Structure 1
C-alpha cells in the first residue's frame, strides 16, 4: 500500500463528482446490474455503491480506505482487504462485478487486462461487469484551453478541472498513463496562484488543496479513450458497450463500460 492511498481517505469528504459517482451514475449502475441474481463484487469501497445489490462484497488493497470510507459491514455488505489482480474468491462466485474509476487507477493496457481477466474468473457464466471509466476524448483540449475555461469561471468544480487537466496532459504526451506527481507538478507550474484560481472559479480553497494528495505520489493513473478501453476487453466477454452515466459535469467523459461473460 502506498502513502497516496493511506492519505486518500482523509480528503474523501472534499471529493465530489466526477471523482465520486453522482446520484445519476448510481441509478445507471443499478439499472445495469439490477437483474443479476447473486452476490455483487465491488472493486474499491465506494460508499455510494455499498448497497447497490442485496449482497455486496467490496475489495480494496488500502486498509485506511476501508476503515475511513466504507460505511460499515452488515448482513448485506462487507469489505475485505485484497488485491484486484489476485482476488481472494473462487471461480464463478459473483453474479456481477462493478468498479467506479477502478480501471483508471491501474495502468493501460497491462493493469486493465489483469482486472478484466480476474473479473472474468470470479464471474458466473452470463455474469455482468460494469465499470464507470474516465475516458479521454478523441480530440482533447490543450492545457491552455483548460486554463482559459478556468479563468472564465466555466468549470464547475475543482474535481472536474483536475480530470480535464490530466486528460490534456495525456493527450499532449500521447500516453494514456500518467504519474499523479506529474499532474501535481503541472498544476503548480501552470496555476501557481491558488488564491486567483479560487476567486476566478468560485471554488473553496480546501477543495483546491486536495491536489496535495498528488504531490509526492508515485501512483500511476490512466486515461485511455473509449476505443482503447474496449480494444483490450478479452474474448471471454460479449455485449461490450458504453452507456451514459448521467448529465452531471464531465459525465460525457465518464461512461459506464458494460460487458457480459460468455456462457
Structure 2
C-alpha cells in the first residue's frame, strides 16, 4: 500500500491483477533481461532527458511548491535518475514485477516508491499528483480505446491544471514501405539497429484498432534473410543490440503508433497542450515530447 502520508493512495486494488504473467508477461520479462542492450530512440537520449527536466521545472515554477508529488509511468532509468526539483517525491508505476526488480534504479535524485499496477487502474485517489511523466506509453497499449482510458486515468489522478510530460512514438503523416526500410538498411543509411526496429514496426502498422504484433516484426526480419553477425560487422553495430529483436519472436504483444495528430485528438479530451519539443536526433521527428495541463 502507498500510504496516505505520501500520495493519498487507497488500497492497492490494482496489484491483484497487475503483475505481468502468461505470454504477454513473458514478453516484458524477456525485455527486462536485455534492457542494457536497448538504446535510443527506444530509450530516452540526453536530449530527451534535458527537455523532460526543463518541462518538469516549468511545472514546478508554475506550481510554486517546494514539494512536488510526481508519478512515472514505467521504470525508465533515465527519467528516474534525471534532475528532479528539490523536495520531489516520485512513484514509479509498472505492471511488471520483473521490470521493477531488474530495471528500476536503487538510487535516484528523488525518493522513489514503486507500485506494481496497471496504468489504466492506478491505486491512487483523485487529484493527488502534481506531475506525471512517461516515455512511449501510447506505444505499449494495444488500441486507441486503451489510449483513451489511460489519458482519462491520468486526468483523474492529476490535480486540476497540473502537468503531464510525455514522449510519444508517432507515425509519420505518410507511412513508409517495408521495402524502403530494408533498402535503407542495405545501403547503410540507418544509424542504429534500434532506429531500424522502430522504422520497421511503424511500416508494418496498419491502424490503431489493431496496431502491429511484435512477432510480425520478427517475421519480416527473419524472412529478409539478413545475417545478424555480418550486418553488425558491416555497420559497426554491437551484435547484442541486433539480437534484441529475438524478444519479438513468438510474442503476442502489440504496439501502436498513432500519428501526432491522432495522439493530440485523444489527449485533447482531457488536456491542454502547452509545449511540444521535436528532438534533433535520427528519427526525432517521430519522438516528440509534449507538456500538457490537466483540464479543470
Instruction: State the TM-score, normalizing by the size of structure 1.
Output: 0.93
Q: Give the corresponding residue for 2:284.
A: 251
Kindly state the Cα deviation for residue 248 of structure 1 after the two structures are TM-superposed: 2.0
In 2: Cα distance, 1:235 partner to 1:135 partner: 19
Q: Determine which of 224, 248, 269 is the counterpart of 1:235.
A: 269
Moved more, 12-21 or 226-235: 226-235
Kindly state the Cα deviation for residue 73 of structure 1 after the two structures are TM-superposed: 6.1
Kindly state the Cα deviation for residue 195 of structure 1 after the two structures are TM-superposed: 3.1
In 2: Cα distance, 1:128 partner to 1:161 partner: 32
What value does the CA root-mean-square deviation take over the aligned residues? 1.7
Q: Deviations over 1:121-149 (max 9, x none)?
A: 00011111121111010123211111121
Q: Deviations over 1:214-234 (max 9, x none)?
A: 112111110110011111125
Q: Give the corresponding residue for 2:77.
A: 47
> Which entry has the higher C-alpha Rg, 1 or 2?
2
In 2: Cα distance, 1:247 partner to 1:234 partner: 26
SS class of match (2:267): coil
Aligned pairs (5 A) from 1:24-35: 24-34=47-57, 35=59
Q: Give the corresponding residue for 1:207.
A: 241
Q: Residues 174, 42 of structure 1: CA spacing in aligned structure 2 closer, same or farther, 3 A cutoff?
A: closer
Moved more, 89-98 or 46-55: 46-55
Q: Give the corresponding residue for 2:139.
A: 104
Check if 1:20 corresponds to 2:43. yes
Q: Determine which of 155, 161, 178 is the counterpart of 1:126.
A: 161
Provide structure 2 residue ranges, at least 5 long, that are not aligned to the other structure: 1-19
Q: Deviations over 1:9-36 (max 9, x none)?
A: 1101001100100011011011111133
Q: Determine which of 103, 116, 136 is the counterpart of 1:69.
A: 103
In 1: Cα distance, 2:204 partner to 2:173 partner: 13
Provide structure 1 residue ranges, at least 5 long, that are not aligned to the other structure: none
Kindly state the Cα deviation for residue 242 of structure 1 after the two structures are TM-superposed: 2.8
In 1: Cα distance, 2:263 partner to 2:200 partner: 20
Q: Determine which of 195, 210, 217 is the counterpart of 2:229.
A: 195
Length, aligned pairs only = 260
Q: Residues 228, 204 of structure 1: CA spacing in aligned structure 2 closer, same or farther, 3 A cutoff?
A: same
Q: Deviations over 1:50-74 (max 9, x none)?
A: 1442221110000011110001267
